[in-house]
Each structure stands twice: as structure tokens, then as C-alpha cells.
Structure 1
Amino acid sequence: MPLLRSNTADKFIVDRRKPHRNSDVARAVRRSRDRLSQRHGTPVFDRELLKLHAHAIVGSAATIPLLVLIITAAGLLGGMAGDIVVWAFLTMTCYAGLTWVAHRVRKADASRLNTISTKRNLLAGHFISGLGWVYFATLGCVNCQVEQFPIIKAIVLLLAMAATALITSSLRGALLATFALPVAAYAYIGINSWAPIELVMTGLLALSLPFFSYVASHFNRSSVMLLSFRSEKDALIAELETAKSMSDEARRRAEEANMAKSRFLASMSHELRTPLNAILGFSEVMSNEVLGPMQNPTYRDYARDVHDSGQHLLDLINEILDLSRIEAGRYQLNEEPVRLLHIVEECCHLMELKAHNKDLRIIQEFEPELPRLFADERALRQVTLNLLSNAVKFTSTGGEIRVRVGWTAGGGQYVSIKDNGPGIPPDEIPVVLSAFGQGSIAIKSAEQGTGLGLPIVQGLIHMHGGEFELHSKLREGTEAIAIFPASRVMEVLPALPTRKVAAGGRRR
């Protein structure tokens, strides 16, 4: 018969076919770290600066043309007709070429950019755009009615230089490539005219060019810092994504392991309980000599030991199964109206014999006439017995256990069990509240438990929407408080008058 291969994982085997880690996240981390390690002068960093410069040119494409249009309108009003229009057309055309080059650089892939050729093309575009300002520096105004026209030209050139310094700060040398020739042309005309005002403006322009170059270099350093901060931000985001991916992977594996554990315990419960029940039954028959007296009393003692050990093992299996069902969310509560006071009284009565053997006193302090709770009676009994058993187990001979049942400040009900035993160190309280956790006193005690009682109590109380508190001090004792919310408390229905009840019976 041919073997059939199933596509689903076996119920006892965790499916490991899922990817262990997101490879895209790992590549993003590697790229971000590479970018963070770059400094000015390296190809990757220079490509980023070129992209930033191209983005600034395209983003402010309307700034210089707007300035040119304003100057053209002012020139036309001042009487400059043909020359100013030719200058405007030449300047706009040259600046359009620079914008086109920047647009191509902006759209190109950063990893494919050749830094040397791209920088050369951008500087050439800036030089060509400066030809329009060279023509502007050579303009004259013989027929216009504007006085001191050289001063106006110098002011316009200063404004254009300032705007260009702000826009082209990401590319070193762009300002000089644009305005070195226009300033030289203005200086040549001013020196030839020997007019004092033109000489002063020529000196001002000559000093302004290195000043604005310094301002542009300062903004260039700011751009470099901006790129560094952006790289660091990308690296931190990538690290965070990596940590999240690893956390998700760890949580998925933990959930799979927990599911495998729950499936194993659920499937093995029957196989473990069946032989244990047989061992308990036969050992009880032998210890009670049901089938006849045993000649050797030692065998009878051995049979009792076997029965006690089997019962202890069965209790341990039941506790593990209860805890696994609670953690898996498969513990079903059989909710019904119950009286917490009666349940605690019965549990105290069950523990009286064990407490009497250790000469312990159980002091009951109950508030009378507590209304009923809508809860699972078995769960409340298990909570109370676990807490009482711990108190009896760890309280020294001659001590006392104080059991309280009453109202909470919020309208709920609580059970408090306080002993005067050795107590628990503060740093061990989280340990004893975890599954299979035991404190140092419990480990040294002769009556070692499994460490599942308190986790089961916590789980059952939380399933009821309540809270569990554990307060303890060394050499002063421990107090365990199980709190049930006010939503679990049922309202007391008013009693019907006796006459109405009797009248209703006669009518029926």
C-alpha cells in the first residue's frame, strides 16, 4: 500500500516550515548601517548630497524665474524695451536647462549615479545659467529715466546671489560657477568707467561673493548633518523592525511550544490516569486486606506507601492538566449562584484535621448575610483549599491561621487567608507566583509541593474577572487575598409577603 504524505503537521509536532526571520528587514538593517558609516567624500554620501541638491533646484524652480519677471517688469516700466526682454529670455532659457539637468538627477537611481560626471553636469548647468547674469551686468540704460542704474544692477546681482546661495548649498562650487563671471563683467565695466559709485559697488560685489560662498558652505555642513541624522534615524527604525521581527518569531515559537505541551498533556492524560487508577485500586485492596489477611505486615505498609505515592502522582497530574487548560483558555467555568461563605466554611472544616495534627488554630472571621456570587463552585473550592493548604503547610506548630470573608470597598467580595509563618522574601514573590516556582523556604521544607497551587489560583480568579494579591514579610507571615468583582455579586431579591403567597396558592 503506498504511503500518503499529508500537507498538515502532525498534532504532536510543531510546524517549523515558517520563515525564521524576515530577510527584507535584515537587508534594510545592513543598508542602514552602511549609510550610517558613510562620511562626506565617499560615493554613497556624495550621491545623497547630489540628490538633495537636485531636489532643491527642482523644488525652487520658480524662485529665479519669478525674480527675472519682476526685474523685467521694472525695466519695461523704466524705459528698457528690447534689451531687458532679450535678457529675460536668455536667463529663463539657461535656467530651464539647469532645471532639466537637476530633474534628471532627481529621477535617477542613487545607486547608479556617477558622482564625478553628475557633479560636472550640474556645475556646467550653473555656469550656463550664469551667462544670463553676465548679460545683465553689461546692460546699460541710456534712454531710461532711472538714476544710478549701476547701483540697481548691483542690488539685483546681490539678491540673485543670496537666493542662489540658499538653493545651491548642497553642492560646493555652484555659487562660484554661477556668479564668478557676472561679478567679473560688472567689475570690468565699473573699472573702465572710473565712476566712484560703480567702484564702490564693484568692491561690494567682490566681497559679497566669498561671503555668500561661506554662507553656502555653512548650509552645506547643515545638509551633511541632516543626512547623518537621517541615516541614524533609518538605522534606528531598522533596528526596531529587527527587534520586532525577532520578538514576533520568539512569541510564535513560544506559542507553538505551549501548544505542543498542551496537546501532549491532553493526549497523555488518559494513558497516565488509567494505570494510576489500577495502581490505586489494587494497592487499596491490598492495604485493607479485602481478599484476606496478609501474613507479613511489612507488605501491608508497602501497599499503603504505594497507594499514597500513586495518589500524590494523580494529584500532580490533575494540577498540571488544570494549569495547561487555564493557560490555553480551555478551562470551562460552570457558573451558577453560590455562597462564598458556605464554600469557605466547608473548606475550613476539611482542613481542620490536618491543622489539628500540627496544633494550628483556624480563626474564622466572616461577615454575615453575604449575597450569592455567580461563579464556579468547583473553582472557588479549589482556590480556597489551595490557599488553606499552603497556610497549613508553612505555618509552624502552635501557630494560627486567620480566614476572613467579607465585602470589598468596590462592592465585591473577598477571601483572605493569613498565617503567622516564616513569610516569603520580597524578591521571591514573583517566583512563587510563576508555574513550578518555589521559594527558598518551600525548598527547605519537608513538605515540598509542585509550585502549581498559586498559579492555578491566579488563573481561576482571573477567569472570574477578579484579582489575586499576595502580601508577605519575613518572620511575620503571609496573607493571600482572592478578590471577586462587584459584577459577580448577585442582588438579593425582595421576599414576597406571606398573605400574597398564600392567596396565590389558593387561586391555583
Structure 2
Amino acid sequence: MMSQSWKTSSITITKSTPSGRHMKSQASANGSDTLAINRQRALRRREMARSVRDIRSRLGAPESRHSTFEHERQHLFADTRINAAFAAPLLALIVAAISSLWVSPQFMGAWFLITICTHFLMVVISHSYEKAPSDQKVRIVWSRRFIIGDLIYGCSWALFFLMPVASGAGEGLVIFHFAALLIVIAMNTMQSANLPKCLLASTLPITFFVTFSFLQQSSAVHYTLAAMAIGAQGFFLILGNQLLKNANTMLEYRADKDHLIAELETANSMSDEARRRAEAANLAKSRFLATMSHELRTPLNAILGFSEIMKDEVLGSMANKTYRAYAEDIHGSGEHLLNLINEILDLSRIEAGRHELHEEPILLEDVVAECGTMMKVRAKAKSIVLHHAHQSDLPRVWADERALRQVVLNLMSNAVKFTPIGGEVRVNLGPTSDGGQYVSVRDNGPGIPEEEIPTVLEAFGQGSHAIKSAEPGTGLGLSIVQALISMHDGTFKIKSQLGEGTEVTVCLPPSRNMNYPADDKSVAPGSLDARLRTANSG
């Protein structure tokens, strides 16, 4: 026998080995997937932290911050030059046309061509920069091209102030030169403010030659204008520096916005992933409950049936009273487990939106009376007095009778459960102020602390009194009540004070009332007959 049992057990082990290997391989695969997901999340967190550190370092280091946006400011410089491609030639044409009053038209024509050529040279360089690949834009050669181009452009404007003038030009030419100086320096400041070196290259030659030209004259007016030209140059340099700061600030905000957008996209992707996992977990939960409901109820029916036969001694008396007590305990535990399964399934169906209401005209008074009859045995066991008060002539309501019965039973069961021995439970039924109907259940138990009410209303939530007294329950009753009343478009209210008891009220809206005789069940709300009868009764 020993050898035979040993062989049997060895055969059993051998048969179970392949499935064990399969489970191990599946577990290892799941573990590798989890490890890969965790690595991806760690990489995303590190990238996000690196981005935050970069932003903080830029905000804390103003000098390095400017160099960080060098390439962005080059792009702004090129874009400004391209947008002003036709504005600068128009200004040069106006200046050349007015200067023809004092300067030979041949000289002004030659100067105009030189200025236009240098201007369009800068436009071509800017276009080339915009079309260049990103890896070539970072090269320092573009900065040199911009500086040299602006220097040539500034020198071309400086030639204007060195043109030979006709005799007897007078002070009008001097004033025009100074006005042209201010306009040209202001224009170049606006165009080249994003690159300080280009700003100096395009404005200093003009100021230098104008000042030199004014100082060649020995009059107080020329000396004054020379000093003002130098002051104007300083003013526009300060203005250019302020424009540069504004550009840096704008680029900082843009960079921060881009980083925040990247972080939001990362958080959004993580949220989508978490939602997908939650949906998959919810689907798995639904499948599990659908499968386990059958798998658990089948053996429970046998347990409840056989234990009931044993405790009631249907097949004969049991000599041992302890066995009979065990059978009663088994039957009670089985009923508790079956109620727990039913409540979990009801709540899961409601949360999944799969709970359908089978509505019909019913009298809420009959539902409350039936529930009171069912609760009398439990109340009598604790010497609790049930008081039932209702207003007569209440109309029928269009509702699911089973759902409302479950609501009232849960409320009365909780009241009886937490009411001390010899206490009272009052059930009231009547119309609401807006024309609906309400059911309230009030007990004189220990009450619920105000801070624990949200916990009690959650699924599987229990108050401190329930935990201390170890009252049997799952904490799903009030959650199911709220869900069922919400499906009927009703409201749920709970009031409680320590030492005075708890009152729970559920209300059905006026739209659930059926304004026709209580003994007529043939008319459903929403039908033509129902609307006609409602109008006639009104």
C-alpha cells in the first residue's frame, strides 16, 4: 500500500508539472512586462525632472539664460529682416528723393543702388538662414554673416552723410541730416535689437560719420547736433538693450510653456494608460463576479439546504445538541455569505450601468408595509418597537418595486441593527413639499459622528460604532440605496447626532407620481391616457 500510494502521488506530481511550468512562464512574462513598464515610467520621471531642473537653472542664472536663447534670437532677427524687406527700400527712396534738392541726382542714384543692394544682401542671408537645416543653424558662421552684413548696411547709410552738397545748402540740409539720422538709427535698432553686436555694427558707423561731418563745421548749431547725435546713439542702445530683455523674457515664457506642454502630454499619456488599466481591471472584475456568482451560489445552495434540514431535524432528531448548534451556525453563516454575494453583485451591476429598472405602477405604502412585516421578527428579537405612520390617499408611483423594497429593507435593517435593546424605530411615509413622496426611517441608536458620515456612505464603509460593536454587515447597504434612488431620479439625505439617533430619508420626484385612481393599473406614465388624466385631475 505504501509503495502504491507513493506511485500515485508521484504520478500526480508528474502530471501537475507541465501546468506549473506554464504558470511559471506566464508569471515570468507578466513580470517582464511589469518591469518594462516601470522602466518607461522611470525614464519619463527622469526626463521630467531634468526639464524642471533646466528651467530652474535658467531662471536662477540670468547671464547663462541669454546665451541659451542665442539661436532663437537669431531666428527673430532673420524673421524681422524678411518682414521689413520692402519698408527699408521705401525709406531709402524717400531720403534719396528729398536729398536731390541739395545733392546731385547722379550721386543719390548711385547711393540708392548701393543701399538697396546691401539691404537685399541681408534679406538673402536671412532667407538662407531660415531655409538651413537645424544642425547648420547652430553654427557660429551665421552670427558672423549677420554682423558683417549689418556693418556693410550701416556703412552704406553712412555714405549718405558724406555726399558732396551744392553750395548754399543752408541749415535745411543740416536739419534733414539729423532727422534722417534719428529715423535710420531707430529703424536699425528695431531690426537688430535681438543681436546686440549687429545693432552696434549697423548704427555706430552712421553716428560716427554724422558726428564727424558736423564737427567739420565751426558753428554752434553743428556742435550741438553732433552732441545730440551721440546722445541719440546712447539712447537707442539703451532702447535696444530693453528690447533684448523683452525678447529674452518672451523666449523664456515660450520655453516654459513648451516644457509645461510636454509635461502635460506626459501626464496625459500616463492618465490614458492608467484609465486603460482601470478599464481592464473593471472588465476583469465584472468577469470575475459573473463567473464567481455561479461558482459560489451553487455550493451555497447545498450548504444552506442541508444545514437547514439538519437544524430543523427534518430527517430525525439529533441526539447531540452541539451538532445542532453547529448546523444553525453553518446555516446563518451561509445566509450571511449569500447576502454578501448578492449585495456585491447588485452594486457592481449598478456601477457598470447594467442594472435595469422594471418599472410599474406601485403603491409606496404597500412596499413599506411589506418591509415592516418582514422586519418584525428581527425587531421583536431585540424588543424594538416599530412605528409606522403614513398619509392616506397617496398616489401610485412609477418605479421598480423590487428596487424600492430593497431600499426600504436596507434602511430598516440598519435601523434595527444599530438600535439598542428596547429602542424604537419610526418609519414615516408622506408627500414632499414639491409634490413627490418620501420615506424616512429614524432610530434612537447611538448615532453617527458628523465626520464619519462620508465614510459610512462609501462602499464597504463602516462607522466606529459598527466596528466596536462588531455588528454583522458589509457596508454596502447605503451605497446600494443611494444608487437605486439615483436611478429613480430621487434624493438621499442622512441626519445623525451622537446619542440621539439617525434619520435617513429618501425622496422620489413629483414626475414619478401617477395622478389617477389607485386601483387602475392599466395606464403607464408618459402615455396619452396618462397625460389626459393628469390634465383632467389638475
Map Cα deviations across residues 328-377 of structure 1 (whole Å, 9 max, x no partner). Answer: 11112211111212111211222123223323232323232222222111
Instruction: Say yes or no: does 1:100 pair with 2:158.
Output: no
Partner of 1:308: 332
Instruction: Say yes or no: does 1:329 pair with 2:349.
Output: no
Confirm or deny: 8 A CA contact 1:35 1:45 kept in the other structure: no
* SS, match of residue 374 in structure 1: strand
Instruction: Say yes or no: does 1:484 pair with 2:508.
Output: yes
Task: Select 1:468's aligned residue among 463, 485, 492.
Answer: 492
Distance 1:114 1:308, change over 3 A: closer
Unaligned runs of 5+ in 2: 1-25, 521-538
Partner of 1:502: none
What is the Cα deviation at residue 147 of structure 1? 4.7
What is the Cα deviation at residue 78 of structure 1? 7.2
Partner of 2:176: 152
Partner of 1:458: 482
Partner of 1:296: 320
Please identify, of 420-429 and 64-73, the stretch whose mean Cα deviation from structure 2 is larger. 64-73
Confirm or deny: 8 A CA contact 2:396 2:518 kept in the other structure: no
CA distance in 2, matches of 1:96, 1:422: 90
CA distance in 1, matches of 2:434, 2:44: 49
Question: Quick one: which amino acid aligns to residue 460 of structure 2?
Answer: F
Partner of 1:285: 309
Partner of 2:437: 413
Instruction: Say yes or no: does 1:447 pair with 2:471.
Output: yes
Normalization by structure 2: what TM-score?
Answer: 0.82
Unaligned runs of 5+ in 1: 1-8, 497-508
Normalization by structure 1: what TM-score?
Answer: 0.87
Confirm or deny: 8 A CA contact 2:103 2:164 kept in the other structure: no
Map Cα deviations across residues 418-443 of structure 1 (whole Å, 9 max, x no partner). Answer: 22221212222221111111111111
Partner of 1:242: 266
CA distance in 2, matches of 1:164, 1:31: 39
Task: Select 2:112's aligned residue among 73, 85, 88.
Answer: 88
Instruction: Say yes or no: does 1:202 pair with 2:226.
Output: yes
Partner of 1:504: none
What is the Cα deviation at residue 120 of structure 1? 1.3
CA distance in 2, matches of 1:144, 1:441: 110
* SS, match of residue 505 in structure 2: strand
Aligned residues: CA RMSD:
3.2
Partner of 1:120: 144
Task: Select 1:379's aligned residue among 394, 400, 403.
Answer: 403
Please identify, of 162-171 and 432-441, the stretch whose mean Cα deviation from structure 2 is larger. 162-171
Distance 1:252 1:410, change over 3 A: farther
Distance 1:432 1:108, change over 3 A: farther
Partner of 1:353: 377
Confirm or deny: 8 A CA contact 1:32 1:234 kept in the other structure: no
Aligned residues: 486
Please identify, of 109-118 and 436-445, the stretch whose mean Cα deviation from structure 2 is larger. 109-118
Confirm or deny: 8 A CA contact 1:95 1:129 kept in the other structure: yes
CA distance in 2, matches of 1:24, 1:74: 66
Structure scoring higher RCO (CA < 8 A, sep ≥ 6) equals: 1
Confirm or deny: 8 A CA contact 1:80 1:144 kept in the other structure: no
In the TM superposition, 1:5-20 aligns within 5 A as none
Please identify, of 337-346 and 481-490, the stretch whose mean Cα deviation from structure 2 is larger. 481-490
Map Cα deviations across residues 8-47 of structure 1 (whole Å, 9 max, x no partner). Answer: x9xxx9xx89988799987985785476244544764222
Question: Quick one: which amino acid aligns to residue 408 of structure 1?
Answer: T
Map Cα deviations across residues 269-309 of structure 1 (whole Å, 9 max, x no partner). Answer: 11111111111111111222222222222222222221111
Map Cα deviations across residues 394-427 of structure 1 (whole Å, 9 max, x no partner). Answer: 1223332222222333333222212222121222
* SS, match of residue 357 in structure 2: coil
Percent of residue pairs bearing the same amino acid type: 45
Please identify, of 428-437 and 228-237, the stretch whose mean Cα deviation from structure 2 is larger. 228-237
CA distance in 2, matches of 1:495, 1:356: 33
Bigger fraction of residues in helix: 2
Please identify, of 184-193 and 257-266, the stretch whose mean Cα deviation from structure 2 is larger. 184-193
